[in-house]
Chains A and B, each alone.
Chain A
Amino acid sequence: MHKLAIVAAAALTMLGGAAFAQETIKFGYIDPLSGGGASIGEGGLKTFQYLADEINAKGGILGRKIEILPLDNKTNPQESLVQAQKAIDAGARFITQGNGSSVAAALSDFVTKNNTRNPGKEVLYFNYAAVDPSLTNEKCSYWHFRWDASSDIKMEALTSYMKDVPAIKKVYLINQDYSFGQSVRADARKMLGAKRPDIQIVGDELHPLLKITDFSPYIAKIKASGADSVVTGNWGQDIALLLKAAADAGLKVNWYTYYAGGAGGPTAIKQTGLDHQVFQITEGFANSGHQPAMDFEKTFRAKVNMSLWYPRAVNEMRMFKAAAEKANSLDPVKVAAALEDLKFEVLDGGEGVMRKDDHQFFQPIYISSFGKLAADEPFDEEGTGWGWHLVSKIDTSKTMVPTTCKMTRP
């Protein structure tokens, strides 16, 4: 039913758009609101709407209110370009997207071309979750800014942790078959090989993206391989269903994941009974212990009725405001210039920086595990009674990976 409300709200904003054109800052949110990625796409939409409300309640940016335009791209690159054009036609000069690096690459390219062809009508693309390293390396663009740690930063941190766990002997890699999944797999092989040459890679699987509804055949294969740990970059229903199938089959391994915390993941982990054996790597989490973040989490949960999956979205919107105020303008060209090398206190504490060379945001990274909560950890997930617990923190300076980006500046 609430979907209907969103559609109605979107329709109303489109109708009323012209009248408010002078006042609101149109912010295009292009992500899956249908199909296999819908559960996380809708979560992201609620997050951005909450963040816009938060900024608007404090007077907006330079006196203008932010208005989120929800656009459904069905996790499809072609569809995303149609939606991006729709956003631009509706007056959006800033768009954000996160789910799917294949989509991100298409959008980045689209925005770059658009800005070359339409000087004076530039559009900025804020990427909050597509982590394929190529987006800030060989395919980098001046108009693309990424707030999530790229896949190689995450894998670097993850393997540094795995290196010191002697129990890991046999690792199974299972990933989605597209640019991001392939980069996770390649990075895992390369970095584990360098840091722990004794670890055996007993399986290396690529499966179709967001198409599998029953992972039992894959779980049977993992089981047969004798793996003690699984490394996966799966997200959305691909991680939730993977864990659900593992729970059904009673597979007991350690899971090193990028996105086990997404919709459905925690419920499935609780089902497996794997207490503190599923790890996640993020730029922040509910029980991080940093007071402002925990206060934010509390009000966010009370109002939106979900946990904050995207602390990076908070950083993104707050930095957008900071950059616009620094430039004293909402002209995308000036905002982009102000974002470069902008230092910012992130939600979960510590300083992050938007590197000028490749427009990758660097920030402290956390590895956390999911299981029974300690006394000072107030937040559980999906009503399971279990929550995320700090395992390791990696400071900003240690996450700086080199870049090959040579971007064309305006």
Chain B
Amino acid sequence: MLELIVISTLNGLLFGMLLFLLSSGLTVIFSMMGVLNFAHASFYMLGAFFGFQLTKWIGFWPALLLAPLLVGAIGMAVERYGLRNTHKHGHVAELLLTFGLAFAIEEIVAMMWGRSPVDYRVPALLDFPAFTIFSTNYPAYKIFMLAVSILIFIVLLMVLKRTRVGLIVQAALTHPHMVGHLGHNVGRIFMLVFGVGSALAGIAGVIAGPALVTQSDMAAALGPILFVVIVFGGLGSLPGAFIASLVIGLIQTFAVALNGSLASAFGPLDPSAGPSVLTDIWNVTIAQVAPIVPYLLLVIILIVRPMGLMGTRET
């Protein structure tokens, strides 16, 4: 049982950190520009596919650097030539733009790389068990993923809290108009933030690609969870996104690991013993419910605390 807890905690942390890499960019973009970027998970997918292609051409390590830069550049271009132009037509237009973009990127990726998973492998250098815990191997690559995510978290925090750029971005989070009135080029800040946010998603894609599955529906599979994370964590709050990512990562992993159903909670009074149309519902296990748990959390947090865990503004 201890083994299960330790391994599940590691797996949960890992998934949580991956979610954080994605949601950190999304939450900052959301709160600055008021736009829920539907294409954010698509940048994650682009990162994975660029990573795969560049790995084939120039190796994994250069790809780890180049692919996020490429994705970041695309992100900036989207902001500069897409969102900035639609901005004057209001949020709905911007929302629709990112919505359309998400579909366009998915189709383009499918056209270029096909719809089945591509063979994106863990680099040979990291393809060994890092350590063995209770006779279970833990892959070195996953430790690497964890390390990269934590490193980025620290760098991001330092930049936001300790630099001038960070100060302006923070100010723009809560008082975007005031920052503009103070003479800062808000347009350029937006573009940079959008680029950095996309690049972060790109990094997540490059490192998650080999461990998970790199295919053209990976954005659609992850997208909804991201929205849960940023709403749950609180709009524009990095610590909130961090906590929410970890909570959702751990909950999803542990829900799988746990046995038990509604029926078993009743012990000898198990209502499923008697035949009833509800037997199926009684016997649904926690593991089966795991995929919907994050969405239940979303509903609950919106009812109980609409500004999210650490947020200051109402979503």
Contacts and interface: CB of A to CB of B under 8 A. Distances in A.
Interface of A: 1-4, 33-36, 38-39, 41-42, 177, 205-208, 211, 213-214, 216-218, 220-221, 223-224, 237, 241, 248-251, 263-264
Contacts of A249: 7, 136-139
Contacts of A205: 287
Contacts of A263: 116
Given A218-B256, A221-B256, A34 B216 contact: yes
Nearest to B218: A213
A248 B140 CA distance: 9
18 contacts: A3-B115, A4-B111, A36-B215, A38-B116, A206-B285, A206-B287, A207-B256, A211-B291, A213-B213, A214-B11, A216-B7, A220-B7, A221-B4, A223-B3, A248-B137, A249-B136, A250-B137, A264-B117
A205 B259 CA distance: 9
A180 B206 CA distance: 35
A39 B117 contact: yes
B3 A3 contact: no
Interface residues of B, number: 37
Contacts of A216: 7, 11
B213 A33 contact: no
B151 interface: no
Interface of B: 1, 3-4, 7-8, 11, 15, 110-112, 114-117, 129, 132, 135-139, 142, 211-213, 215-218, 221, 253, 256-257, 285, 287-288, 291
A264 B142 CA distance: 20
B137 A207 contact: no
Contacts of A218: 256
A21 to B, nearest CB: 29
Contact of A220 (B11, B215, B221, B291): B11
Among A205, A214, A223, A250, find the residue whose CB has the most chain B CB atoms closer than 10 A: A214
A264 B221 CA distance: 21
Specify the main secondary structure of chain A where it touches its partner.
helix
A35 B115 CA distance: 7
B132 A250 contact: yes
Contacts of A251: 136
A351 B86 CA distance: 68
A217 B11 CA distance: 7
A323 B110 CA distance: 39
A203 B116 CA distance: 31
B116 A250 contact: no
B238 to A, nearest CB: 25
Given A3-B115, A221-B256, A224-B4, A213 B137 contact: no
A208 B257 contact: no
Nearest to B291: A208
Contacts of A2: 114
B213 A237 contact: yes
B3 A220 contact: yes
A177 B288 contact: yes
Contacts of B114: 1-3, 38, 42
Given A4-B111, A213-B213, A250-B132, A220 B8 contact: yes
Given A208-B291, A217-B256, A250 B129 contact: yes
B211 A214 contact: yes
A275 B256 CA distance: 29
Given A3-B114, A35-B115, A211-B291, 17 more contacts: A2-B114, A34-B110, A34-B216, A36-B213, A206-B287, A211-B221, A214-B11, A214-B15, A214-B212, A216-B7, A217-B253, A220-B4, A220-B8, A221-B4, A221-B256, A237-B213, A251-B136
Contacts of B132: 250
B195 to A, nearest CB: 27
Given A249-B136, A250-B135, A250-B136, A33 B212 contact: no
Contacts of B221: 211, 213
A213 B208 CA distance: 10
A34 B135 contact: no
Lowest 4 A-B CB distances belong to which pairs? A250-B137, A34-B115, A3-B114, A38-B116
Contacts of B212: 213-214
A218 B256 CA distance: 7
A237 B256 CA distance: 18
B118 to A, nearest CB: 10
